[in-house]
Amino acid sequence: MASSRLIHTRDLTKTYRVGDNEIRALAGVSIDIEQGEFTAVMGPSGSGKSTFMNIVGCLDQPSSGEYDLGTRRVSDLAGDELAAVRNSDIGFVFQTFNLLARTPAVENVELPLVYAAVPSAERRVRALEMLAKVGLAERADHHPGQLSGGQQQRVAIARALVTRPLLILADEPTGALDSRTSLEIMGLLQELNRQGMTVVLVTHEADVAHFARRVLRFRDGHLVEDRVNPDPGDALAMLREDAVPA
């Protein structure tokens, strides 16, 4: 597929004021991410990776600098305009899944479409389609409490995909899962990426970052490393090997 620039930032900074102290969470980050890339963002806590991800995810605004998502300058947007961008262009996957309790899986997947004012019949069709895609078609009516951790994260991924976003932002998606389930989830993200979806993954685990083709590393608010992973792991293949004991 023809690659084109999806994320473009120039000199992004973010400064917080805590009492009299100014804390520089992001000290000028410039980066470009192409469409269809699978990028891992790494760094210890306090490195600025979370701040960077919040800005890329349109949850937060930079103090200065430019950020273009696709062809749109989003660093100037605020409030409900950012909410609209999040709704249409970004799919979030969280460490703790963040599913609505006591709400069937299919309605959890529908949630972004509710805020996009999609008619309910169409919502249901699209949500079921996405659940099928993550392999949970027959669990549509289950509540999160009736699903395993891996299944809950699949529901969350279906929810992230349902608006057909430009990119998936996964913040420590395997942080609450055991290693085998982690492989399943990483395999699903890799599969989606193979189908053309841009994935940005935040992690502090090298094993997880290993599945990405590009790795960014943050420290003290700076981007300190940007390398291509020449030989990313194949999570599904590892899962198959794992399943057949020697």
Partner 1 sequence: MSILGLLRVAMRALAVNKLRSLLTMLGIIIGVAAVIVMIAVGSGAQARVEEQIRSLGSNLLLILSGTTTAGGVRMGFGSNQTISEDDAAAIPREIPETMAAPALRGTAQLIWGNQNWSTVIFGVTPEYIDVRQWEIAAGRIFDATDMAGATKVCLVGETVARQLFGGANPLGQVIRVRRVPFTVIGVLESKGQSMMGTDQDDLVLMPISTARKRVLGSGNLAKQRSVGTIWVKVAEGYDMKAAEEQVRSLLRQRHRLQPGQDDDFSLRNLEEVAATQEASSRVLALLLAAVASVSLVVGGIGIMNIMLVSVTERTREIGLRMAVGARTRDILGQFLVEAVTLSLIGGLAGIAIGVATAVGIAEFAGWRIVLSPESVVLAVAFAFAIGVFFGFYPARKAARLNPVEALRFE
Judged by beta carbon, residue 78 or residue 206, the one nearer partner 1 is: 78
Q: Report the b/e string of 79-103 with b at 16+ CB within 10 A.
A: eeebeebbbebbbbbbbebebeeee
Binding mask 113-132 for partner 1 (x = CB under 8 A): -xxx---x------------
**Count of residues in contact with partner 1, rule CB under 8 A:** 26
Based on the shown chain and the rule CB under 8 A, indicate whether residue 52 belongs to the binding site for partner 1. no
User: Computed over its alpha carbons, how large is the radius of gyration of the chain?
Assistant: 18
Based on the shown chain and the rule CB under 8 A, indicate whether residue 60 belongs to the binding site for partner 1. yes
Residues 6+ apart with CB under 8 A from 198: 6, 33, 34, 35, 36, 37, 38, 166, 167, 168
Based on the shown chain and the rule CB under 8 A, indicate whether residue 103 belongs to the binding site for partner 1. yes
Based on the shown chain and the rule CB under 8 A, indicate whether residue 75 belongs to the binding site for partner 1. no
Q: How far is the CB of 213 from partner 1 (least distance, A)?
A: 26
The span from the CA of 233 to the CA of 231, in Å, is: 6
Judged by beta carbon, residue 100 or residue 125, the one nearer partner 1 is: 100
Q: Which of 17, 71, 80, 195 binds partner 1 (CB under 8 A)?
A: 80
The span from the CA of 26 to the CA of 127, in Å, is: 37
Based on the shown chain and the rule CB under 8 A, indicate whether residue 145 belongs to the binding site for partner 1. no
The amino acid that residue 156 corresponds to is A
Q: How far is the CB of 110 from partner 1 (least distance, A)?
A: 10
The span from the CA of 66 to the CA of 12, in Å, is: 6
User: Which residues of the shown chain bind partner 1 in the complex (CB under 8 A)?
Assistant: 54, 57, 59-60, 79-80, 83-84, 86-88, 92, 94, 98, 100-103, 111-112, 114-116, 120, 159, 163
